[in-house]
Amino acid sequence: EIVMTQSPATLSVSPGERATLSCRASQSVSGNLAWYQQKPGQAPRLLIYGASTRATGIPARFSGSGSGTEFTLTISSLQSEDFAIYYCQQYNNWLTFGGGTKVEIK
Amino acid sequence: EVQLVASGGGLVQPGKSLRLSCAASGFTFDDYAMHWVRQAPGKGLEWVSGISWDSGTIGYADSVKGRFTISRDNAKNSLYLQMNSLTAEDTALYYCAKDIAAASLYYFDCWGQGTLVTVSS
């Protein structure tokens, strides 16, 4: 099973600042990585797939990068609605999620 | 509008069984693979199982392999999860989720609101 490790567990950021979230795979997943956003009491929402392609309707301030074992989700200028938990998920060898990064208001 | 409505959750004793259902609408059900994803209270997401459009590809997380069985009925636009030998570690909100592909298991572009399973004596 491929283990996905996200860091940091919690990220404190001020509105308008940049947030950088990391996701590491225990073995290469090529570019087969997705990112999701989850707000309290809601189902997750797809943000990024193929490591760097934004899903339909996702604002341009969200960007993904990386390949192999190291991936990054960047939120260029945090808006109030972006404070949430973010999960990465690999789909190269079955499916596994990372443990999540909570982005909170500083 | 895509809708995924999961049902069948509830309180069940350890060692017992439960069957979850997911009713899909708003899209051509048999054009897509489907999944179950769970989230224990206050915890992260865990992929449980997925099934391709024709049931030809099925996968399970190691934590449920041999105890859970996923199935689908394309004529009824429905997805199922038969859960046996339940333990407290299976307590979670179970989401039904739609894949972006038909024949392979990739990632999820639509999620339902989930059904809560509580395993306790």
Q: Which residue among B47, B100, B109 places its CB closest to the CB of A97?
A: B47
* DSSP reduced 3-state for A15: coil
pLDDT at B79: 98
pLDDT at A29: 98
Contact A95 B113 (CB under 8 A): no
Mean pLDDT, residues B49-57: 97
pLDDT at B112: 96
| B100 contacts on A by Cβ (under 8 Å) | 49
* DSSP reduced 3-state for B53: coil
Contact partners, residue A39, CB within 8 Å, separation at least 6: A84, A85
| B107 contacts on A by Cβ (under 8 Å) | 34, 46, 49, 89, 91, 95
User: Is residue B86 very low, low, confident or very high in pLDDT (cuts 50, 70, 90)?
Assistant: very high
Q: What angle do CA A68, A72, A73 make, to 5 degrees?
A: 135
pLDDT at B85: 98
pLDDT at A16: 95
pLDDT at A69: 98
State how far the Cα of B71 lies from the Cα of B69, in Å rounded to an integer. Answer: 7
Could you tell me the two tokens for B44?
């992260």
Residue type, B103: A
User: Is residue B47 very low, low, confident or very high in pLDDT (cuts 50, 70, 90)?
Assistant: very high
Contact A94 B35 (CB under 8 A): no
- The residue of A29, A91, A92 whose CB has the most chain B CBs within 10 angstroms, and thus the best one to mutate to test that interface, is A91
Mean pLDDT, residues B79-104: 97
Q: Tell me: the pLDDT tens digits for B59-73?
A: 999 999 999 999 999
pLDDT at A24: 98
Contact partners, residue B38, CB within 8 Å, separation at least 6: B45, B46, B48, B90, B92, B93, B94, B95, B117
How far away is chain B from the Cα of A9, in angstroms, using its nearest Cα? 11
Task: Say what the alpha-carbon torsion angle A54, A96, B92, B27 is, to the nearest 10 degrees.
Answer: 50
State how far the Cα of A65 lies from the Cα of A59, in Å rounded to an integer. Answer: 16
The segments of chain A whose pLDDT lies below 70 read none
Average pLDDT, chain B: 97
